[in-house]
Amino acid sequence: MRTPVRAKPELITPAWPAPANVKAVSSTRAGGCSTGPYYSLNLGNHVGDDAAAVSHNRQLFHAKAAMPAQPVWLNQTHSSRCITLTQTVTDDINADASFSRRSGLICTVMTADCLPLLLCNKEGTEVAAVHAGWRGLCDGVIENTLQLFSQPADCLAWLGPAISQQAFEVGPEVRTAFIRQDPTASSAFIAAKQDKWLADLYLLARQRLAHCGVTAVYGGALCTYQQAADFFSYRRDGQTGRMATAIWLE
């Protein structure tokens, strides 16, 4: 078993006007002990990395973010399912979003190109973390999560590091699936070569949020694919690590 090295994770603090008791953080790939394609702060235990390294990285993430408890990790399947957290659990749960009204429960999602999206209400009593890949986004993971809030339109949203439109080439079936549900989604696609399209995950998420009445949306300016020194990217590298984005109530 490899001996973990000491490191200091480099974390992103969302720039949004959330209430003071709402805490949120998003990791980069820097500051961990993993090596090779997982260099260095890989937080995914399902991607082939050394288990001891992932465990150490998760402890670094937990400590650096000053979390009051361990994050609740999800077994993400690109679904539209959101679960309500009532207690800290150690077993991964099949879902792609988590919601909480209780202090000290860490809603957490992992990504490496998909969009991590954080939500909180303006009163600081409800929070959620959403893993929005194109499938979950198209199938309504944002809408399903917002339904759990007392007043969905009274929410703030933060869009974390994801693949940018310039780097996200998809087939025509992806564009068709979105437009079938919402014709305005056509504005989120730019024609590329050989019947391919460039999809804007950030804009697609903003459209879905707007349809639910959420207009206070922040973030959305980073690219996991293009910023190789800062982020993992499955589309760029294939075998790679995962970042984590978390939110909780104090």
* Domain map (residue ranges) of the chain: 11-163+215-249
Distance from the Cα of residue 165 to its chain's centroid: 17
| Per-residue pLDDT tens over the stretch 185-195 | 999 999 998 89
What's the chain's length in residues?
250
**37-51, 77-91, 111-125: least confidently modelled range:** 77-91
Report CA dihedral (186, 187, 188, 193) to the nearest 10 degrees.
80
Helix, strand or coil, per DSSP, at residue 65: coil
| Per-residue pLDDT tens over the stretch 101-126 | 999 999 999 999 999 999 999 999 99
Query: Strand order in 243-249's β-sheet?
Result: 11-12, 22-27, 243-249, 106-111, 71-72
The candidate with the shortest Cα–Cα distance to 8, out of 33, 45, 36, is: 33
Q: With contact defined as beta carbons under 8 Å apart, do 42 and 241 qualify?
A: yes
| Per-residue pLDDT tens over the stretch 126-182 | 999 999 999 999 999 999 999 999 999 999 999 999 999 999 999 999 999 999 999
Q: With contact defined as beta carbons under 8 Å apart, do 81 and 130 qualify?
A: no
The candidate with the shortest Cα–Cα distance to 116, out of 12, 236, 7, is: 12
Q: What's the chain's average pLDDT? A: 95
Burial 51-90 (b: 16+ CB within 10 A, else e): eebbebbbebbbebbebeeebbbbebebbbbbbebeeeee
Alpha-helical runs (H) found in the chain: 51-64, 134-139, 141-146, 172-181, 201-211, 234-237
Q: 11-163+215-249 has which fold? A: CNF1/YfiH-like putative cysteine hydrolases (3.60.140)
Report CA dihedral (165, 166, 172, 175) to the nearest 10 degrees.
20
Q: What is the pTM of this model?
A: 0.95
